[in-house]
Chain A
């Protein structure tokens, strides 16, 4: 068991139990929305802007934002903050760029999953299949990398062993996902988003009460210095390019956000969804910033000893707050993990049930898809837990598949595909193959010390995919230009 920075008080344990019971209750309630495959796998055209806005924020803001982010701030200062300050405004930017066209696709075809839209836009089962493989692989890899973090959190919150922590956290998530699928994920995510916002208020209060907002102590500390308070931080400067661009443009490439664009009931709900999602994400970014700098301040002033395990920075800060704030903030951390996990379980099971089989010409009958979907939810969960614990080096490699991988398979497919008539089927197939292969090959090469880019490899894979897709589109015309179906022409006029 890890060093216990937080003592699990009755308040923390009680709040955690209430949080989980309410989540399960909401998930079961959501069963009424999950009677069809579209409702179970997509929550298509079912929810208002407030629910979608909160759910988008909760699903995008993962444990990395609440635990990993502050750890990076503690170690490197401002550099990693570019990710989160790019991401918040990127929500509305994404809605400006493709929100209305994604929602329009739900009116021209039956949408339950993202590969459904890709298949219709490019009139290709191959595009559907490759995208499904990519999404499924990245979702499982990403979830696997969260297993140990979730276990550590439960260990700190409840004082239970990591194994029990995993069983409690993922067991309760599965308890409602099996009942209501993506609809349950969206509704519980909205609730969990609220829990996260309450935690943010706790963090703001705790930070200023603790530090008085005085950063000069950090700048003048021999252990830290000006690099820790400027706008570039201590990481190599080129990382600011990757973080600021890929996390601003890349928001509209995240399935957690893209899939919500067709879940809004009416086109008018896009407005609230875009604004609320971005604004609440911005508030949650304060956890990344303030908790990270709070931990630095504690060490710079000698109020706490330096830490080696970066994931402990968040717990160090929380351990210095009072009991009520600890309960609020720890529950917010838990909400961040669970909300992201539930979405990815649904994403992966939907891709396996509907899209992979369909791409090979074996569409599962509509009425049986939900049953298969539930089966695959369990399979995905077991795979993730097993892989997360016993995957060894493979987890370290594939755990990096996340934001950049999703952006490199979805931005060409949806952003370019829905903005540009000329974007062709052939180009997308080549682009997707390049994205999947390079996103797996690059971390393997880095891990085995064969080759390493001087910047995050996903900038190369995303940029490379976009360049390839653009160039090939100029020389091919499958499902492009005049070869687009008539219904698609209407979407392009929006």
Chain B
């Protein structure tokens, strides 16, 4: 189990803020200078950003299991990065189609769209009871607030 403590969250939030700053910079400078490589780096950092929020959310009682970290959390970012890489390298080129699709189109649909489904939607279906919202943790929460007045 990996502890995601308050201090760790401080670090993750700080890194997320830095990622946002870079993503804006890459869009701004990359857009003005038509620097597609910088924009590509911005896309990859965007994938990192999604992983950071995922890490903070897919936690139960301040702990995350190693298996959750690998799938779905890290795999989510990896799928996105693969999609962005293929889209960037095939942009605007006439190429042979894969399954009736341009390779960039194929990568966006398969790695980004379906890949994100596997690492978010399918993972939520399979891991809901055991890792996402375990019943015992919810019952513990209910016990904890049972004797307390409602917040106003």
Contacts and interface: CB of A to CB of B under 8 A. Distances in A.
A18 interface: no
Interface stretch (A56-64, A308-316, A374-382, A415-423): A415-423
A21 B127 CA distance: 40
Contacts of A230: 87, 90-93, 102-105
Interface in A252-306: 267-268, 270-271, 274-275, 278-279, 282, 285
Interface in A436-469: 453-455, 459-460, 462-464, 466-467
A245 B112 contact: no
B120 A96 contact: yes
A104 interface: yes
Contacts of A271: 124-125, 128-129, 132-133
A127 interface: no
A38 to B, nearest CB: 12
A419 B53 contact: yes
Interface string A224-238: 001101111000111
A248 B121 contact: no
Interface in A82-107: 82, 85-86, 88-93, 95-100, 104, 107
B70 to A, nearest CB: 15
A226 B9 contact: no
B138 interface: yes
Contacts of A242: 27
A91 B123 CA distance: 12
A487 interface: yes
Interface string B11-28: 001101100110110111
B114 to A, nearest CB: 9
Contacts of B129: 271
Contacts of A232: 87-88, 91-92, 104
Contacts of B119: 89
Q: Which of B23, B53, B93, B104 lies at the interface centre, i.e. has the most chain A CB atoms within 10 A of its CB?
A: B53
A470 B17 contact: yes
Given A89-B116, A422-B9, A454-B27, A109 B152 contact: yes
B107 to A, nearest CB: 6
A485 interface: yes
Interface in B112-152: 112-113, 116-117, 119-121, 123-125, 128-129, 132-133, 137-138, 140-142, 144-145, 148, 150-152
B23 A420 contact: no
A91 B122 CA distance: 12
A226 B56 contact: no
User: SS class of chain B's interface: helix, strand, loop or mixed?
Assistant: helix
B75 interface: no
Interface string B68-104: 0000100010001001101110111111010011111
A104 B14 CA distance: 26
A361 to B, nearest CB: 14
B148 A459 contact: no
B16 A97 contact: no
Contacts of A110: 150, 152
B138 A93 contact: no
Contact of A420 (B9, B54, B140): B9
A491 B59 CA distance: 12
Given A92-B123, A230-B93, A422-B10, A467 B17 contact: yes
Interface stretch (A157-165, A183-191, A208-216, A317-325): A208-216
Contacts of A237: 30-31, 36, 39, 88, 91
A283 B148 CA distance: 44
A7 to B, nearest CB: 33
Given A100-B133, A241-B27, A278-B120, A231 B16 contact: no
Contacts of B27: 238, 241-242, 453-455, 459
Contacts of B88: 232, 237
B28 to A, nearest CB: 6
A85 B114 CA distance: 9
A271 B122 CA distance: 11
B57 interface: yes
Contact of B54 (A97, A104, A244, A453): A97
Given A278-B121, A459-B23, A96 B58 contact: yes
Contact of A93 (B61, B120, B148, B152): B120
A78 interface: yes
A1 interface: no
A241 B137 contact: no
A490 interface: yes
Given A91-B120, A231-B103, 20 more contacts: A89-B117, A92-B124, A100-B133, A219-B94, A226-B102, A230-B92, A230-B104, A237-B31, A237-B88, A237-B91, A271-B125, A274-B124, A419-B57, A455-B31, A459-B24, A466-B16, A470-B14, A487-B151, A493-B141, A494-B61
Which 9 pairs show the lowest CB-CB distances between chains A and B? A231-B104, A97-B57, A454-B31, A89-B116, A231-B87, A463-B20, A230-B104, A238-B31, A231-B108
21 contacts: A81-B108, A92-B123, A93-B76, A93-B116, A96-B54, A96-B124, A97-B58, A104-B141, A107-B142, A108-B145, A110-B152, A215-B102, A230-B91, A231-B104, A231-B108, A244-B84, A244-B112, A463-B20, A464-B24, A470-B17, A493-B61
